[in-house]
Structure 1
């Protein structure tokens, strides 16, 4: 999984230009699909988004959008606007390719930042869905490439259950532009960049369904790993993320995180939740480290940060972990992170209630 998203930005812009350039002689003052804008304004908006995303990455903006905008010169015809889309698309592709792996920049929704792949995915989404809007306004047939739609959905729509064989219809539905059988049409929607949690020497970086699929298949998930990583448990957890995504139950803030070392950008392990909190506000945590990263306090540091994040929420009352009785190192980690072992009576009750193996020991931390 080595692509940064630059190729996908270029492909989306090529597809959009191939649609719009032959239609440059039409009247672009008509309304663009479901939007309140006309087709000309929508085309200019595509270019504005592309350059804004490029600016965020290139400028390393961390607290707000870089305060600039672009305008099209007076007298520019529709073909000239297509030129601007192609140019701003090339700038975003270049910014994505040259941004270091660990760079994040401000984007307001939902977690206040995005990485290079996130900005690429947002750019591709803007190009594809607004090309659709313009095509509807001009009466043109348009269908975005399936591989681009799948690429976007698995990166910034992790909360949306995919529709097998229909990624274009899925993207239109996810952005409030189409109906799908068995699903209520959306009147409000948002994409979701991955969540990053600060943990001192580490950052906990949310693993997208795309990255999880790559990890589960033996790849890197787009991370640079320490020697011996990722460990087996991380790959198994990635498989759980993929299953949840395919079932439509994945929520990125309750998924899996890669533990990335600040000093060198290397991933040392994986940590996360086994799903969303239950009705009583309980959520299960799990973790592992590559063998070469053990013994440095990384797991304790990360688990403290993840627990603090979760327990600060209104929907979480208790975190718990199930650890093998002979796994002394993991038991020391969980204890240092503020978890305590439950009573043997409660443990036995949990075995029957949750079908747990008797060899597991339960630890909890409350808000």
Structure 2
């Protein structure tokens, strides 16, 4: 699962224009594009509009709404001209993605009201791939992008969708454009950009499945780490994220977050949940730091921020943290973050099926 950036935007646009240029002499204005309600020419215009809109959001650092502009083709623009506009707007998005710093986020409504440069790249690529498919379907020609590009789009902005036997048919199914055996047709869908939670000195940055896959294999997950990072617990948590994604049970907001230091953009550790809340709203939380980041209050700050975010939700009522009896530093962290030793009844509940079921561990809780 590769990361998405300017090169992949260029790749998507090149696959679009190479395919559609073979039928540039056909009637695009009088033919409906696949399952959408637009003509093929209007759909090409829509591709260009999405590309320039995403470039504008990211380059303009829009924070509260869409930048109020749109692009339209000049009257009389032919099919070749429409493809030139797609190439041009694609180049603008590619440039915006390449030049945006890693920590920059701009407004996009789904689902947490912002996206970073990889999210905008993924959304732009998805628009190109899917609407090229629509146009090709309307004109009766074959089209399929590279499997690894479709796979990367799924892992980036469809982390809640279980991967299928092949990525491209899965992406078509996930956007209501096809069927997959054993899965109900999709009638409504949205992008799913990653969540970020601000803290005082840190930003808790949601780790996507592709980044988690890289971390699990020993990579950096696309983050710049301080010396000694990421620590082993973060890599193990990344493996849990990948397994949940592959099983189709990942809820990314209850996955892994990298702790990114604001002052220099370097990651110092990881924090996250051991799964989704149960029917009673109970969920376990865990964290670790690179050794060089310990003793500076980062773990307490991150645990407070994530706990407050979680307990503000309707589906979370109790957070658990399980700690080794001799880990006095971690016991101090959870205490400073508002956790208290679990009651006998809470310990019994944990032992009946939660991850914090090891009787050798001390159990701490924080309640809503």
Once the 2 structures are TM-superposed, how far is the Cα of residue 200 of structure 1 from its aligned partner?
Answer: 1.4
- Scaled by the length of structure 2, the TM-score of the pair is 0.97
- Contact 2:286 2:321 (8 Å CA) reproduced: yes
In the alignment, is residue 137 of structure 1 matched against residue 107 of structure 2?
Answer: no
Alignment correspondent of 1:201:
201
- Contact 2:52 2:92 (8 Å CA) reproduced: yes
- Matches for 1:295-334 after TM superposition, within 5 Å: 295-334=295-334
Query: d(CA) in 2 for partners of 1:216 and 1:94?
Result: 30
Q: Which moved more, 1:202-211 or 1:24-33?
A: 24-33
Alignment correspondent of 1:215:
215
Alignment correspondent of 1:251:
251
SS at match of 1:228: coil
- Contact 1:154 1:210 (8 Å CA) reproduced: yes
Alignment correspondent of 1:95:
96
Once the 2 structures are TM-superposed, how far is the Cα of residue 60 of structure 1 from its aligned partner?
Answer: 1.2
- Matches for 1:230-269 after TM superposition, within 5 Å: 230-269=230-269
- Contact 1:2 1:222 (8 Å CA) reproduced: no
- Contact 2:160 2:250 (8 Å CA) reproduced: yes
Alignment correspondent of 1:52:
53
Query: d(CA) in 2 for partners of 1:142 and 1:346?
Result: 56
Alignment correspondent of 2:87:
86
Query: d(CA) in 2 for partners of 1:127 and 1:353?
Result: 45
Query: d(CA) in 1 for partners of 2:266 and 2:346?
Result: 39
Alignment correspondent of 2:121:
120
CA RMSD of aligned residues (A): 1.4
Spell out, residue by residue over 1:41-89, the C-alpha distance to the aligned partner (whole angstroms, 9 max, x if none). Answer: 1100000100111111111111111122112112211100000001111
SS at match of 2:17: helix
Query: d(CA) in 2 for partners of 1:262 and 1:139?
Result: 51
Once the 2 structures are TM-superposed, how far is the Cα of residue 357 of structure 1 from its aligned partner?
Answer: 2.0
Once the 2 structures are TM-superposed, how far is the Cα of residue 352 of structure 1 from its aligned partner?
Answer: 5.2
Once the 2 structures are TM-superposed, how far is the Cα of residue 2 of structure 1 from its aligned partner?
Answer: 9.0
Q: Which moved more, 1:341-350 or 1:274-283?
A: 341-350
Query: d(CA) in 2 for partners of 1:249 and 1:364?
Result: 25
Once the 2 structures are TM-superposed, how far is the Cα of residue 4 of structure 1 from its aligned partner?
Answer: 5.1
In the alignment, is residue 110 of structure 1 matched against residue 111 of structure 2?
Answer: yes
Structure 1 ranges of 4+ moved more than 4 A: 1-4, 352-355
- Contact 2:272 2:285 (8 Å CA) reproduced: yes
Query: d(CA) in 2 for partners of 1:192 and 1:179?
Result: 21
Query: d(CA) in 2 for partners of 1:354 and 1:253?
Result: 19
- Contact 2:223 2:267 (8 Å CA) reproduced: yes
Unaligned runs of 5+ in 2: none
- Contact 2:4 2:152 (8 Å CA) reproduced: no
Q: Which moved more, 1:186-195 or 1:353-362?
A: 353-362
- Scaled by the length of structure 1, the TM-score of the pair is 0.97
Once the 2 structures are TM-superposed, how far is the Cα of residue 3 of structure 1 from its aligned partner?
Answer: 5.3
Once the 2 structures are TM-superposed, how far is the Cα of residue 348 of structure 1 from its aligned partner?
Answer: 5.2
SS at match of 2:112: coil
SS at match of 2:185: coil
Alignment correspondent of 2:23:
23
Query: d(CA) in 2 for partners of 1:253 and 1:24?
Result: 44
CA 1:243–1:234 in structure 2 vs 1: closer, same or farther (change >3 Å)?
A: same
Once the 2 structures are TM-superposed, how far is the Cα of residue 28 of structure 1 from its aligned partner?
Answer: 0.9
SS at match of 1:296: coil
- Contact 1:4 1:96 (8 Å CA) reproduced: no
CA 1:28–1:195 in structure 2 vs 1: closer, same or farther (change >3 Å)?
A: same
